Amino acid sequence: MRVTINQPLPFAPAYLINRMLRSDLCISLGSAQFVRGQHNRYKILSRGATQELVIPVKHYGTQKVELVKAEIDYSHNWTRKHLRSIQQVYSKTPFFDEIYEMVEKHFAQKYPTIGEFALFSMLRVYDILNVEWNVKPDQSLGLPVLHDPSAWMLSLANMVLADEYFCGQWAIENYLRVEDFKKDGINVIGQKWYPDTVGAEVSVLDALFKHGKLALALLNTH
């Protein structure tokens, strides 16, 4: 079984969706520490340049809090600003009405934490693409958080009896001890799906607005 392990991101970038779709199971790492400016934003593509939309949180950058506990700040009507930006950029795309309605419903739900917002945004994306939900929160596995990221990923992969671990090439080059995975009979596979560097970094919303359900063929390529 191929597993990928990712921190939940709001309307995640296309490269992350590709990794999820090409795996049998995706473990959503909601127990990871929230990092301001990394976990509370997503990017849309406007005239060939990326525009970053930031979700305000109640926590300072120095406060240590898990993603599933990082509270969203609804004291300001940031959702209106996000919706206006999305409308301005994508209003003339072929599938605007369908996807915009989904985004509106998601914002109206007012999820209390970044972790929940991100996880359920992915569920809505899967619904649009009509693919089976293959995401499991790491908290449901009952494993403790390990400070060594390589050991933590290996522990999670072993817990679900994975024989393949699919991850970003950056992880392999910077912190993952591939030899430890091999000792446990797990083959590490690095993602090489970056056909368009800018497009891969942009939120999956971009592909959905432009291609609707047909975005699955693009997002699921090798």
Question: Distance between CA atoms of 54 and 51, rounded to whole angstroms?
Answer: 10
Task: Provide the pLDDT for residue 222.
Answer: 78
197 pLDDT more than 60: no
Residue 171 token pair? 């992880």
What are the backbone dihedrals phi and psi of residue 62, each rounded to the nearest 5 degrees, phi first?
-85, -10
Q: What share of the chain is helix, strand, coil (3-state, %, to 5)?
A: 45, 20, 35
Note the pLDDT tens digit of each residue in 140-176: 999 999 999 999 999 999 999 999 999 999 999 999 9
How many CB atoms are located within 10 Å of the residue 79 CB? 17
Q: Average pLDDT over the chain, rounded to whole?
A: 93
Q: 20-34, 55-69, 89-103: which range is least confident on average?
A: 55-69
Amino acid symbol at 199: G
Question: Which DSSP string do the residues of 159-187 spell out, in sequence order?
Answer: HTT-SEEEEEHHHHHHT--HHHHHHTT-E
Residue of 42, 43, 36, 38 lying closest to 57 (CA atoms): 36
Band of residue 196 on the pLDDT scale cut at 50, 70, 90? low
Note the pLDDT tens digit of each residue in 55-69: 999 986 666 899 999
Average of per-residue pLDDT across 10-33: 96
* Residue 70 DSSP SS3: coil
Task: Provide the pLDDT for residue 95.
Answer: 98
Question: Distance between CA atoms of 57 and 128, rounded to whole angstroms?
Answer: 27
138 pLDDT more than 70: yes
